[in-house]
Amino acid sequence: MTESKIFADNYSCAFSDPESFLEFLGERKENSAWLTAPSRSIQFEPIEKDTPKGNLYMQLYELNGKAELLADTMENTSIMLSINDQSYPVRSCALKTILERARISGNALSKVSTGVFTQILNYCMNVASGDSLIKVADEKVSAVHGGDPKDYSVLEMLPLFQHVKDFLDFEFPGNQFITANYDHSQVSAIWSLDGQAQDLLQTYERELTARGLSGKGAMRPALRFTTSDVGTSGANLYPIFLTKSGNRIIPLGYPLKTAHEHGADLDRFDEQMGFLYSRFKEAIEKQSSLLDIEVRYPYTTMLGVLKRIGAPKKASYEAADLFAAQQGDRPCTAYEIYLAMSEVIFISQCNGASGTRIAQLEEILARALNINWHEYDRPGDFKW
C-alpha cells in the first residue's frame, strides 16, 4: 500500500485473499456515485496552495475534517470540478477523460499554469454538446465520460470480478486466487488454473521436450482480469503463464476485451468469458511458434525487440545483461529470448511498479509475439 488514505491520488493496495478483495470492492461501490449533467454546465477552477481561493477552500474542508483530502488534491491536480452547485476535487486519473470530453490535447497543456488550463477546459466544455457522465469515487472526481451509453457504458467492478470468480469456479475447477491490485485508475486480479494445467499444456510441453527445453517449460496457466472506470482499460481477460517457481508472469497476449461502450453489459462480458478456453489454446500455440524461430545474435535481438515494442530502457538492459550472463552469445530460439524478456516485468515489480504499470508491461511484452524477429537478428553493438 502506497498511501494509508484511500482518497489519495496515488493510493494503491494488494490482496491475497479473494473474499477480502471482493469486500473491498463492495466498499468502493458504496463510496462512489455516477452523476449525469449537461457538459456545458461543468466548470473547473484552480485551487492552488497559498492563494486566496485555495485558502478559502482549505478553511471549508478543515471545518468538515477533510483538510487532508484537499491538501492531496493541491499536491496533484489543484483543480475543482463544480456541477449542480456542488464542488468536487479532481483526481489525477480523471485528467485523461476530462481532456477527451473537452476534445483537446497537446503537450503545451502541461506547460501552462493551472489557472490557464482550467480556463481552456471551461471554454471547451462551454461549447460541448450532450451530457457528461461523472464518476465520483471516495470524494474525488475520477473520470468524466460522455453521457451517451455508446460513449461509455458503466460496468461496475464488483459484479465483474464476482462473475469471473464464479465462472472460473464452475468452468475451471481447481483454480487458485493469487493476488489482486487496486488503484484509482485500474483494478486487476490473477488466478492460476492448476486444475486445467495438464489439458492446456500437454502439446506445449511435448514441443519443449522435443527441443531439449523441458526445463524452461515449468509453467502453469493463469488468468489476469483487468478493468477500469476511468478509461484506461476495458473489462479484459488476459491468458498468462506463471512460472512454477516464484510466480513470475509470462504474457501470452491475445486478451478477450469487452470495451465500456455501445451498451456493453454483464451479458456481453459473460459471452466473452465463454471463449476463454479456446483463447488459451490459441495463445499457447502462438507462443509455441517461437520455438521454430532461430536467433543467431540473441543479445542484440533481445534489445532490438524490447526497444521496438516500447519496453522501458533501463529494465530492458538489465534483463538482456542477465540473459547474456546465463546464455552467453550462442544461438537460441526466439522462445528462449521471449522468456528472458519477461524479466522486465519482475525487475519493474522489484522497483515498486504499481499493479497498473505491471499490467501495461504485460501488454507491451506480448507485442513481441507478432513481430519479425529476424529483422533484429544482427551482430554488432546495440544502440538504443
43-46 and 79-83 strand pairing: antiparallel
**pLDDT tens across the length of the chain (384 residues):** 445 699 999 999 999 999 999 999 999 999 999 999 999 999 999 999 999 999 999 999 999 999 999 999 999 999 999 998 899 999 999 999 999 999 999 888 989 999 999 999 999 999 999 999 999 999 999 999 999 878 899 999 999 999 999 999 999 999 999 999 999 999 999 999 999 888 888 888 888 888 877 665 578 999 999 999 998 889 999 999 998 776 789 999 878 999 999 889 999 999 999 999 999 999 888 888 999 999 999 999 999 999 999 999 999 999 999 999 998 889 999 999 999 999 999 999 899 888 788 888 999 999 999 999 999 999 988 899
Question: What is the C-alpha separation between 302 and 46, in angstroms, rounded?
Answer: 46
- 247: region left, alpha or beta (phi > 0 left; psi from -120 to 50 alpha): left
Burial bucket for residue 190 (CB in 10 Å: 0-12, 13-18, 19+): buried
Q: What is the pTM of this model?
A: 0.91
The Cβ of residue 257 has, within 10 Å, a number of other Cβ atoms equal to 13
Q: How many CA atoms lie within 13 A of 5 on its CB side?
A: 13
Look-up: residue for cell 466544455? 125
- Which residue, among 233, 374, 185, has the nearest Cα to 294 in the 3D structure? 374
Q: 90 — phi, psi (to 5°)?
A: -100, 125
pLDDT of residue 1: 44
Which neighbouring-strand residues pair with 15? 180
pLDDT of residue 3: 54
Amino acid at 260: H
Q: Where are the beta strands (DSSP E) in the chain?
A: 12-15, 32-38, 43-46, 79-83, 86-89, 131-137, 140-146, 176-183, 187-192, 219-227, 235-243, 249-251, 256-258, 294-295, 332-333
C-alpha cell at 352: 515498486
207 and 180 in contact (C-beta within 8 Å)? Answer: no
3-class secondary-structure state, position 30: helix
Give the DSSP per-residue string, 332-374: EEHHHHHHHHTHHHHHHHHTT--HHHHHHHHHHHHGGGGS-GG
Question: What is the C-alpha separation between 300 and 308, in angstroms, rounded?
Answer: 12
User: Angle 197-210/276-288 helices, nearest 10 degrees?
Assistant: 10
DSSP state of 91: P
Q: What angle do CA 113, 118, 121 make, to 5 degrees?
A: 130
Question: What is the C-alpha separation between 332 and 367, in angstroms, rounded?
Answer: 20
143 and 94 in contact (C-beta within 8 Å)? Answer: yes
